[in-house]
Structure 1
Amino acid sequence: MSEIILTRHRGMPAQDGAGVKLTRIINQPSLRYQDPFLMLDEFRSDNPNDYIAGFPPHPHRGFVTLTYMLAGRMEHNDSVGNTGVVEAGGAQWMKAARGIIHAEMPKQEDGLMWGFQLWINLPAAEKMSPAEWADYPQNIIPEVQFGASLVRVIGGEFAAQKGPVQQPGQQFLMLDARLQAGAPVGIASAGQGCRLAYVYQGSVQVNGATVQRGELLRLAATGTLELSSDQAAGVIVLAGQPINEPIAQYGPFVMNTQQEIEQAIGDYQRGRLTA
């Protein structure tokens, strides 16, 4: 195994929302929290029965969600009054923080729905801050060319390009590396304690090791990530600085203690989650 690859993992089939079929990559038995990343899901289907019921209104507290679409359209509505549709190549960022109730529903009745949702933990000092939301359409996400290949900078900074999603203090990085034959991509480490790579399309050479679609790699904190392929391929690259705080989770609530979880449940039941 390449020195930069620490471990390799495959996601597990799961369902969420009103029965949406997906693959849970992070926060499943073989790969728990990867601080600061709490969860990574991939949803990919051209069968409307797998996604049409969507994610009806549900609460969150204590973390950030980031939705990134490769194909299809998803609509967001929340209790703060935000609404927007994320389309292929676009992203939506939501800081649930002290509380928000939102719905994510497909804006299509057929065709391919393909994308990711990432949960990013917040430090204790930010968990009860005001909720925020932002929509980033495809045309404002910067791209860096490597010959015929390109890297989309969704979050953080890469090759002098700054992505729209920033997580101050966490050194957050999210890239979409879209590879073409004969056009390798190099991604140097910025020293983050957590680095991950997920192959979502094709077969990729990662520092000399062959990695197939559906595999997530835990990477060493140092060293350049070298990606190449002899076909069209895609890799999501994540990095962040661990928070190193206790994690207490109950479904859509992620806090530091069980007492804070019970408070979140109580606030939701009493209609005070977002207050």
Structure 2
Amino acid sequence: MKTRAVRSVLRSRSTVEGAGVHLKRVLGPHEAHLADPFILLDDFQSMNPSDYIAGFPWHPHRGIETATYMVRGTIEHGDNIGNNGMIDSGDVQWMTAGSGILHQEMPKPYAGNMQGFQLWVNLPASKKMMEPRYRDIKAEQIPTYPASDGVDVKIIAGNLNGIRGPVRDLVVDIEYLDVALEGDREFVHEIDPEYSCIAYVFEGDGIFSEGKPDRVSHGHVAFFGDGGDIRVKSGKAGARFLLISGRPIREPIAWGGPIVMNRQSELDQAFDELRNGTFIKSDRGSNPKQLNLSHTHER
């Protein structure tokens, strides 16, 4: 199986979401076709609480799964089907919006460089109206595999050398790894040849292919072509990156802010239901009498 080459490298871009959260958009509507089934990846980090403390007040989702991974810091979460709690450093929250959910994510002040990621995974048409569900994964449940000297891999979802991540029973087959390399180290990992694959570097830099030197630096995302192995060599200062791969859905996308469907008519229906109070389908949740959608841009 040939080593995957880097097809393109893009720089994350600054934007503001929620009620005023400053973040880096790694993957969004313009790049979603390059990373199917992944449609959004945000990197939110700051030393200044005023950049994030306004958070993401109550807002809806339908047709996707969201995965929030906190590297450092704390976010308080609550939703309309009875889930609430804290997502602390190293924790993951995996939420399947399915037919519809309302939730909020409110960061807490952190003495240092708060950082976290939110990934959106598209749901296939057959599962877009499934029952919503929520999973809270604590840091101690996420295994770290010492792939070699100076190479550590946190396995959030998927399988690495027989070690499985705690996020299982997924609608779409994916693998989600947090890979940390010390300086001048190599990492080789076999990816299912049918999967699409991206790597987002959030510390340091590295070369992400053989032959042609595709150096990917901090704040950039690499989109890989077909193949099997991913080969990475870190720079002198090391590298840390998210390695995310999954089986493409290959379905049309109709995207309207926090709702992702297949057809525009389905999207229009979802927003009509938000306005008339029939959006929530689950027996466990209730529809809001009034919902301010002014802050629901992408998230």
**TM > 0.5 between the two?**
yes
TM-score by length of 1: 0.94
Match of 1:191 among 190, 193, 214: 193
CA distance in 2, matches of 1:80, 1:65: 16
SS at match of 1:185: strand
Match of 1:269 among 262, 265, 275: 275
CA contact (8 A) 1:48 1:111 kept: no
Letter aligned with residue 252 of structure 2: P
- CA drift of 1:239 comes to 0.5
- CA drift of 1:164 comes to 1.7
CA distance in 1, matches of 2:140, 2:4: 36
CA distance in 2, matches of 1:259, 1:3: 38
CA contact (8 A) 2:37 2:246 kept: yes
**Count of aligned pairs:** 273
- CA drift of 1:228 comes to 2.6
* Deviation string, structure 1 residues 26-83 (Cα, Å, up to 9, x no partner): 1154x24421011011011011111010000000000000011111111110000101
Give structure 2 stretches of 5+ with no counterpart.
282-299
- Residue 161 (str. 1) matches residue 135 (str. 2): no
- Residue 228 (str. 1) matches residue 230 (str. 2): no
SS at match of 1:181: coil
SS at match of 1:265: helix
Match of 2:179 in 1: 177
Match of 2:223 in 1: 218
CA distance in 2, matches of 1:223, 1:51: 38
CA distance in 2, matches of 1:147, 1:181: 11
CA distance in 1, matches of 2:58, 2:194: 34
Aligned residue runs from structure 1 range 1-275, under 5 A: 4-27=5-28, 29=30, 31-33=31-33, 34-108=35-109, 110-145=111-146, 146-166=148-168, 168=170, 170-208=172-210, 209=213, 210-229=215-234, 230-275=236-281
* Deviation string, structure 1 residues 180-203 (Cα, Å, up to 9, x no partner): 124422111212331111111002
Letter aligned with residue 244 of structure 1: R
CA distance in 2, matches of 1:25, 1:168: 23
CA distance in 2, matches of 1:111, 1:78: 28
CA contact (8 A) 2:4 2:227 kept: no
SS at match of 1:192: coil
CA distance in 2, matches of 1:107, 1:273: 29
Letter aligned with residue 228 of structure 1: K
SS at match of 1:202: strand
Between the two proteins, what is the percent identity of the paired residues?
37
TM-score by length of 2: 0.87
CA contact (8 A) 1:171 1:192 kept: no
SS at match of 1:128: coil
- CA drift of 1:273 comes to 1.6
CA distance in 1, matches of 2:130, 2:172: 16
* Deviation string, structure 1 residues 79-117 (Cα, Å, up to 9, x no partner): 001012111111100000000000000122543220110
Letter aligned with residue 51 of structure 1: Y
CA distance in 2, matches of 1:66, 1:181: 29
CA contact (8 A) 1:196 1:218 kept: yes
